[in-house]
Amino acid sequence: MHPILFKFFNIKIYTYGFFMAVAFLMGLIFIKKEAARVGESPEKTGDLAFYIIISGIIGARLFYIITDFKTYLLHPLEIFKIWNGGLTFYGGFIAAFFTTIIYLKKNKLSLLKTMDIIAPGVALGHFFGRIGCFFAGCCYGKECDLPWSVVFTNQDTLAPAHIHLHPTQLYSSFTNFIIFIMLLLIRKYKKFNGEILLIYIFLYGITRSIIEIFRGDYRGHVFWEYISISQIIGISASLTALAAFIYIKRQSIKK
């Protein structure tokens, strides 16, 4: 596609970086508005979102580097070139989650209520972020002959050129937008704090695990020839979220 959005003299503005910035901005705007809607401090929630962004980038990059450690050991300067792609969502999610726990304890905010505020914002940001992946050519799909297959021709793309591939980046972008819309609708009827978070984890884990089937890029060790680390994490997270949801529902019925 178009990895470089435009050039200004010798300065290159990368499409991936642009959409990542849009993703963070849109997620932050939503989170602050949602915090105000439910009676929480937009300022504190906004500060938390900022820390989530920073820790998320670091965690996402570290997780990606670990999956291809030998390459980065030989080319250490590539570690810092995140504008070329190379952020793993689950790595960012884990780092951001622990950052959130520390921040909330320090500021005496409700963990589950705050996570319900943040979850839809994460889905919205992810929607824009995956569009950036599509333009950069990272997270590309396997070869296919479907009518909606895509062909990357730009010499700077990270995807294999001149081959019909599954547009897995767009699959992910679309499913994240659907998840965002679903969470917006469900939040009006939530029965307990943490419900939106659990539904988000369940939906994302399932959709991500399905999309992984069509991914063609290197994502670390693969088990039994087709089960990736991301699928194991996604399925485990979905089952855990489902079990927690059922348990809390049953406890509320007993009361």
User: Residue 104: what pLDDT?
Assistant: 86
User: CA 73 to CA 150: how far, in whole Å?
Assistant: 32
H or E segment and range at residue 223: strand 222-223
Paired residues of 165 in beta bridges: 143, 150
Q: What pLDDT, on the 0 to 100 scale, is given for residue 240?
A: 95
pLDDT of residue 220: 62
Q: What is the pLDDT of residue 244?
A: 93
Residues 6+ apart with CB under 8 A from 203: 179, 182
Q: Which residues of the chain have pLDDT under 70?
A: 1, 68, 75, 78-87, 89-90, 219-226, 252-255
pLDDT value of position 76: 74
The pLDDT of residue 124 is 96
pLDDT value of position 223: 62
Residues 6+ apart with CB under 8 A from 95: 55, 56, 58, 59, 60, 62
pLDDT (0 to 100) of residue 238: 95
pTM for this prediction: 0.83
What pLDDT, on a 0 to 100 scale, did the predictor assign at position 157? 85
The distance from CA 61 to its chain's CA centroid, rounded to whole angstroms, is: 12
